[in-house]
Chain A
C-alpha cells in the first residue's frame, strides 16, 4: 500500500523535533544523546492539562508537531495511537494504592489508566470526532501502528495521524520492562502527494528477516532501548530522502517493510 508522509513530529533523547533530528540523520550534526526534552501541551484546555501525565504529554507533543508540519486540520484527521507500554506511571500509582488497606484509587488516575488516554485527550484538545484507535503489539507496536495507519489511509482515502510513544516505567516496575528513555514519533500519512510530502512510502508485510539497523552506535542503542524508537531507521531514511528499504520488527516471524522512494520535496529543496 502506498502512502505519503505529510508531517513528522519527534521527541526522544537528544532528538528535539524533526528539523533538529533531520540534521542528525543526514550526518550534518553528531548525535549527542542526552535526556528527552519536556513535552509541551499548550493545545490542551487547562483542566485537562492538569489531569494528564508525562506519557500523555509526550504523545500529544509529537502529534501536534506532525500535524502542524502537515498543514492539515487536526479535527479532520483519524488517529492511530501505538504504544508498547501504556502508562507505567499511572499503573504504578494505582497498584501502590491497591496495596494499601484503604485501596483509595484516584479517579483521575483511573480514567488515565486506559491505553487510549492519549487518544481521548487528543480528541478533546483538537475537537476531533473522527475515529481513533489505540493499539499494542509489544515491541512491534510501531510497525503494527504503521501498518494499521497505512491501511486506514488507503481504505478510507483520507489522511491519518499515527503517534507511537513509550516512556520508561518508574521503579520498581522498571526492571520488568526497562527503557533507555522516552521516545515519541508522530507521522501524518496521506493517500496523495502534496508539494511538501515525503515519500512515497510503500508498506508491505514480510516474513521475519533482519531488522534494519542504524550505523551510528548511539542511535542504534536508542533504537534497541525503547520500542517506539524502532521507527528510527525509517525516520533516518525519510530525512535523507534516498531510495531505501527499511525492515521494521513487528512480530516473531513477521516484519513490516517500508520502501521509500527518493523524496521529491527534498530534491526540490536541494536544487533550490
Chain B
C-alpha cells in the first residue's frame, strides 16, 4: 500500500486523557482498571472507566447528540492539540476533502437501554430519545463530522473489536482514489449495560483486572475510550511536517475466520492470514517486525490461538505485549487504542509490558514482555480481532 502519514493522534481511556498520560502509565506498567462501580451494575468484575463523563455534556449546538459515547468522543478530540491539527488541515485542504471514518461497536446504546428501563408499564411505549444522533451506529461519525466542521465522505465501521483498526483501510482507499486528501480515523466505545451483561452471559468477564497471557488468566475486563488519528497522503503538499510526522501506516491486512461467531479459530488461522496480508501490503518480511502489540484479550482461547499464530509467523523472539491489562478491552475502540500504543512504541523507543500478568502461559509460545523495555523499533504490528471472526492487523513504521 501507499503509506499513510499519521500527522497527529490522540486518545482518552482509563489511563488518562492524552497520549502523554498513556505513555507515562505504560512506562510505569500501571493499570487503569478498577472494581466495577458503573451505574447500578452488579457484576463482580473490573472495568476501565473514564472519569467525569457524567458531568461533561457535549457542545450546546450539538445537544441532540449528547450521550456517553459522543461525550467520550468530544473529550478525545480536545486532547493533544488534535482539534487544532484538524482545523489546520481543514483550512489548507477544504472541509470537503477530509473524510471521517470511525469505528464503534455499541455507539450510544445506553440511551435505548435507559429508555427501556423507563418504558410505560401499561403500553410499553418508550420515552423520547434522539435515535439517529445517539443510538444509530453512524451517530459517532455524524457527531465528529459536525464537531470538526468536516464535509468529506464519512461512515462508521462496526465489526466488533476490529472496527477501529479497519478504519485505516477505508481511509487509505478514499485517499488513494483521490476522493479525499486526508481523513480523521479512529473509534469510540463507551461502557454500557449491553456489553457488561452480554460478556457476563458468555462467561468471558474476569473477576479481577484482566491478565493477558498469564497461565491463570480468566477473562476480559471491559474498558471505554476514544482514539483518533489524522492521516494524509504520504507524498505531496498535504503531508506537512508535524510532531509525529515520521510515523506512517505502511500495511494493513484483513481476514475472516469462517469458524464461529464468538470463539476464535483454535489455531489462529484467521489471525495468521490477517498478519500475512498486512506484511504483504507493507512489502515487508516477518523479520522486519520489531514489536507486536497483541490483541491479547486474556480469554483462555484468544491468547493461546493468537500466541501460536504470532510465533508461527514471526518466531519466538520478536517482543510482544498485550496492553488490555492497562486499558481494559475497548471493544470498538480497541483497534485505535492499540494502534496509538503501537505508534507510541515507535515514537518513544519503548515497548510496553503486560500489566497485571505475573507469568507467561507456556502454551501461548510467543515472546510476551511482562515488563516494558527500551528499544528502537522501526516497524511494529498491532492485532485486532472481533466477534464474527473479523480480523485486522496494522503495520506502522518510522519512515
Q: How many residues of B contact A (CB 8 A)?
A: 67
A121 at the interface (CB under 8 A from B): yes
**B131 and A176 form a contact (CB under 8 A):** yes
A124 at the interface (CB under 8 A from B): yes
Which positions 171-197 of chain B face chain A at CB distance < 8 Å?
Answer: 173-174, 176-177, 179, 193-194, 197
Which positions 127-181 of chain A face chain B at CB distance < 8 Å?
Answer: 127-138, 141, 144, 147-148, 151-152, 154-155, 171-173, 175-177
B149 at the interface (CB under 8 A from A): no
The smallest C-beta distance from A148 to any residue of chain B, in angstroms, reads: 6
**B270 and A110 form a contact (CB under 8 A):** no
**B155 and A177 form a contact (CB under 8 A):** no
Given A95-B112, A110-B198, A119-B159, 20 more A-B residue pairs with CB atoms under 8 Å apart are: A91-B112, A96-B116, A103-B193, A111-B202, A116-B386, A121-B388, A123-B256, A123-B388, A129-B258, A129-B270, A131-B277, A136-B156, A137-B156, A138-B139, A144-B154, A155-B176, A171-B124, A175-B126, A177-B131, A254-B153
Question: Using Cβ atoms and an 8 Å threshold, which residues of chain B touch A35?
Answer: none
Chain B's closest residue to A118 (CB) is: B388
Complexed CA–CA distance, A171 and B177 (Å): 42
**B170 and A148 form a contact (CB under 8 A):** yes
**A155 and B155 form a contact (CB under 8 A):** no
**B170 and A120 form a contact (CB under 8 A):** no
A251 at the interface (CB under 8 A from B): yes
Contact (A94, B160) CB under 8 Å given A119-B388, A129-B256, A144-B155: no
The smallest C-beta distance from B114 to any residue of chain A, in angstroms, reads: 9
Complexed CA–CA distance, A144 and B193 (Å): 30
Chain A's closest residue to B162 (CB) is: A116
B137 at the interface (CB under 8 A from A): yes
Complexed CA–CA distance, A130 and B257 (Å): 9
Quick check: which of B44-52, B72-80, B83-91, B259-267 contacts chain A, the rest being far away?
Answer: B259-267
Question: Using Cβ atoms and an 8 Å threshold, which residues of chain A touch B193?
Answer: 98, 103
How many A-B pairs fall under 8 Å by CB? 199
17 A–B pairs (Cβ distance < 8 Å), ordered by A: A98-B193, A105-B197, A105-B198, A105-B201, A111-B388, A116-B160, A124-B259, A124-B261, A124-B389, A130-B255, A133-B159, A134-B158, A136-B155, A144-B154, A173-B126, A176-B135, A254-B153
**B126 and A151 form a contact (CB under 8 A):** no
Question: Using Cβ atoms and an 8 Å threshold, which residues of chain B touch A135?
Answer: 155-158, 170
Question: Using Cβ atoms and an 8 Å threshold, which residues of chain B touch A132?
Answer: 159, 254, 256, 390
Instruction: Enumerate chain A interface residues (CB-CB to B < 8 A).
Output: 1, 48, 51, 84-86, 91, 94-99, 103-107, 110-117, 119-121, 123-124, 126-138, 141, 144, 147-148, 151-152, 154-155, 171-173, 175-177, 205, 207, 250-251, 253-254
**B173 and A155 form a contact (CB under 8 A):** yes
**B260 and A124 form a contact (CB under 8 A):** yes
The smallest C-beta distance from A271 to any residue of chain B, in angstroms, reads: 36
Complexed CA–CA distance, A121 and B200 (Å): 22
Complexed CA–CA distance, A211 and B36 (Å): 49
**A105 and B273 form a contact (CB under 8 A):** no
**A107 and B201 form a contact (CB under 8 A):** yes
Question: Using Cβ atoms and an 8 Å threshold, which residues of chain A touch B350?
Answer: none
**A113 and B137 form a contact (CB under 8 A):** no
**A107 and B202 form a contact (CB under 8 A):** yes
**A99 and B138 form a contact (CB under 8 A):** no
Complexed CA–CA distance, A148 and B270 (Å): 22
**A123 and B389 form a contact (CB under 8 A):** yes
Question: Using Cβ atoms and an 8 Å threshold, which residues of chain A touch B119?
Answer: 99, 172
**A120 and B389 form a contact (CB under 8 A):** yes
The smallest C-beta distance from A173 to any residue of chain B, in angstroms, reads: 7
Of the residues A103, A111, A131, A151, contact of B387 by C-beta under 8 Å: A111
B141 at the interface (CB under 8 A from A): yes
Which positions 111-142 of chain B face chain A at CB distance < 8 Å?
Answer: 112-113, 115-117, 119, 123-126, 129, 131-132, 135-139, 141-142
**B136 and A136 form a contact (CB under 8 A):** yes
B151 at the interface (CB under 8 A from A): yes
Question: Using Cβ atoms and an 8 Å threshold, which residues of chain A touch B135?
Answer: 176
Question: Using Cβ atoms and an 8 Å threshold, which residues of chain B touch A134?
Answer: 157-159, 390
Complexed CA–CA distance, A89 and B198 (Å): 16
